[in-house]
Amino acid sequence: MLSLLSHLPHRECLVIESDWPEYEPVWQMIERRMNGQPPVSAAEELEAVLHWRGKPAQAISERDAQQQLLNERDEQNHSLEQRHQAEQQACQAAEQDAARYRWLRNATPYRFKKMQDAATTDGGDVLSTRTGSTPLSTPPSTSKPLPLQSQPL
């Protein structure tokens, strides 16, 4: 193989990558030469160079616009997640209140009176009321103060 290479003429090559600014003007020059047209004028060459130089700036501005849109969507997603968590917490609190009210609904006047007496004598957990009535002890399954309705049981 080495003996074959010594008989071949010396060759030099030029490679121009497609993302280089020189790519378009050189390609036009080669096309014109192959089609028998006159060489590229300085104005045409300048137009091609300016066209390709604008491409990176355009790509950067498009990328920045996409990044800004992505940031806005991330913020929206974050606020929706926070809202969802707040709604879940509110729902859990409402379910706990409903369970307390169900427990109180089953209390007889005798049990109710015992709860009032226990709350004032043993210093245990106390139910707070919205209407300012006497405090009540909480059911064994809860640990938060319970608001009472002003309706008779």
39-94 pLDDT tens trace: 777 887 788 777 777 777 778 888 899 999 999 999 999 999 999 999 999 999 99
Question: Is residue 138 situated within a structural domain?
Answer: no
C-alpha dihedral sign at 59, 60, 61, 64: positive
Task: Report pLDDT for 128.
Answer: 46
The verdict on residue 92 lying in a domain is no
Query: Is 48 among the domain residues?
Result: yes
Residue 34 belongs to some domain of the structure: yes
C-beta separation of 103 from 96 below 8 A: no
Q: State the Cα–Cα distance between residues 105 and 149, nearest whole angstrom.
A: 10
Q: Residue 31 has which token pair?
A: 């096309």
In a domain, 101, yes or no: no
Q: Print burial letters for 25-50: b (CB count within 10 Å at least 16), e (below 16).
A: beebbeeeeeeeeeebeeeebeebee
Mean pLDDT, residues 140-144 taken together: 49
Would you state the pLDDT for residue 148? 52
53 within domain boundaries: yes
Give me 38's structure tokens: 């006159």
Higher pLDDT among residues 73 and 113, named by residue: 73
Q: Tell me, rounded to whole angstroms, the distance of Cα 82 from its chain centroid.
A: 11
Total domains present in the chain: 1
pLDDT over 70 (residue 1): no
d(C-alpha 123, C-alpha 129), whole Å:
17
The answer to whether the predicted template modeling score (pTM) of the entire model surpasses 0.85 is no
Cα–Cα distance for residue pair 115/138, rounded to 1 Å: 8
Does residue 68 form part of some domain?
yes
**Mean pLDDT (the chain, rounded):** 76
Over range 144-149, report the average pLDDT: 52
